[in-house]
Amino acid sequence: MAVVIEAITALLTLSGLAYLLLALWGARDFSHTWRRQLRGEDFAPDVSILKPVKGVDPSMYAGLVSHCKQDYAGRFEIIFGVGSMDDPAVAEIERLRMEFSECAIRLVECPERLGTSGKVSNLIQMLREASYDYVLINDSDIRVSSRYLSRVMSGFADASVGMVTAPYIGRTGEGRSATVWSRLEALGIATDFFPGVLTARKLERGIRFGLGSTLAMRKVALIKAGGLEPLVEILADDYEMGARIWKAGYRIELSDEVVETTVPPYSFRGFVEHQLRWARTVRDSRKLGYVGLCITYAVPWAITTCIASGFALWSFTLLSLVLLARVAVALSVGVGILRDGQVLRDFWLLIVRDFFGLFFWAWSYANDTIVWRGERFRLHDGRLIRVD
């Protein structure tokens, strides 16, 4: 029996090592693509930025300000959507309008609840108010550079592109505001999630989904893909939006313009709930690919192989190779591509993060229940069903 366990864990470790090498290949291909590509940033179509908001958080206003400080040749408007004019976010938006009176900023009340997802419900109503032929959707906590619109919208210079999406990092606070749980989440985004995105991009010869940090689209592509209405019961609306645009015959471009999202100071319980929601969302969106996700956690399998083999010399050699490849992926993607300095700060947590990743992968199969904004839902074929 011990020999069988040793053989299985060794095979999983070798598979994980192969994945890490694929991730390095994907990272290299992504970097080389943007080095070769002429940016064509003179292509600057007019664009409507749609930002659904609900409530406020300490970093939200800085993110909103960053969208107003754009060095962009085209015209742009920012449309905020709230479910009620009593929402605390309204005061922040009015403050923004006063501070940036030169920007075209509008606030839209979205009273209709069209489905389980309040965010998509608001977006449907906001889209009706959009003035331009291109729309860009991102969350209220996203923070961007002054070149954001120029870099993202230039992707539409190619007429075959229907959507441009962008990588992101999770920005934690400093000191006490950055709990170990928030650091683990941010580290996972940079060294686990995004390497997986680059691997999928390489193996599938392009991106076939969207990332919620940036969903820039031609309106005509969105309409051809069925609009936003079919997504109102979907949890992974960003993924599905991209998938539908790809199925409609358009190409999806992954920009190299990195944006920031805010990672809250999670408690252990908050971290677990968010990671499980994330894991079950990915499992539901990419069922077949998710089954094989377990092999991507090569370090836990390599350590298990060492134990199963009785700490044989060959198992330590295998562990050394895996650690070398894992460090290379974390540095090349997290630091090299995403330029996330937090990766170096929290590098000591990398192995811990991998063990958590494998744990949440296994736990995600326990049931289909998730906690989202304090409410419990069951996932069924991507749709949210409220649990009483």
Average pLDDT over every residue of 80-96: 92
Residue 283 lies in a domain: yes
Tens digit of each residue's pLDDT (9 = 90 or more) over 242-252:
999 999 999 99
pLDDT band with cut points at 50, 70 and 90 for residue 58: confident
Residue 166: the pLDDT is 96
Give CA–CA dist 270/8, Å, rounded: 34
- The answer to whether 246 and 217 are in contact (CB under 8 A) is no
Residue 282: the pLDDT is 82
Tokens 């928030």, located at residue: 182
Residue 272 lies in a domain: no
Residue 40: the pLDDT is 58
Tens digit of each residue's pLDDT (9 = 90 or more) over 268-323:
998 998 898 888 888 877 777 788 888 999 999 999 999 988 888 998 999 999 99
Shared-domain flag, residues 159 and 120: yes
Tens digit of each residue's pLDDT (9 = 90 or more) over 317-350:
999 999 999 999 999 999 999 999 999 999 999 9
Shared-domain flag, residues 26 and 99: no
Print burial letters for 124-137: b (CB count within 10 Å at least 16), e (below 16).
Answer: bbbbeebebebbbb
Tell me the C-alpha to C-alpha distance, in Å, between residue 47 and each of 60, 119, 130, 156: 22, 20, 9, 11
Give CA–CA dist 343/183, Å, rounded: 9
Residue 270 lies in a domain: no
Residue 196 lies in a domain: no
Shared-domain flag, residues 110 and 82: yes
Shared-domain flag, residues 349 and 211: no
Q: Which two tokens stand for residue 244?
A: 């539908």
Shared-domain flag, residues 138 and 20: no
Summary mean pLDDT of the chain: 90
Residue 194 lies in a domain: no
Q: Where are the alpha helices (DSSP H) in 69-132?
A: 89-99, 118-127
Residue 190 lies in a domain: no
Average pLDDT over every residue of 221-237: 90
For residue 193, pLDDT beyond 70: yes
Residue 279: the pLDDT is 87
Residue 378: the pLDDT is 77
Total of domains in the chain: 2
Range of the domain at 25: 2-30+277-386
Shared-domain flag, residues 211 and 281: no
Shared-domain flag, residues 56 and 173: yes
Give CA–CA dist 188/261, Å, rounded: 13
- The answer to whether 259 and 144 are in contact (CB under 8 A) is yes
Nearest CA to 199 among 296, 78, 100?
Answer: 296
CA of residue 168 relative to chain centroid, distance: 6
Residue 97: the pLDDT is 93
Residue at a domain's end among 227, 257, 287? 257
Shared-domain flag, residues 315 and 172: no
Domain of 127, CATH number, reads 3.90.550.10
Shared-domain flag, residues 26 and 162: no
Residue 38: the pLDDT is 53
Residue 266 lies in a domain: no
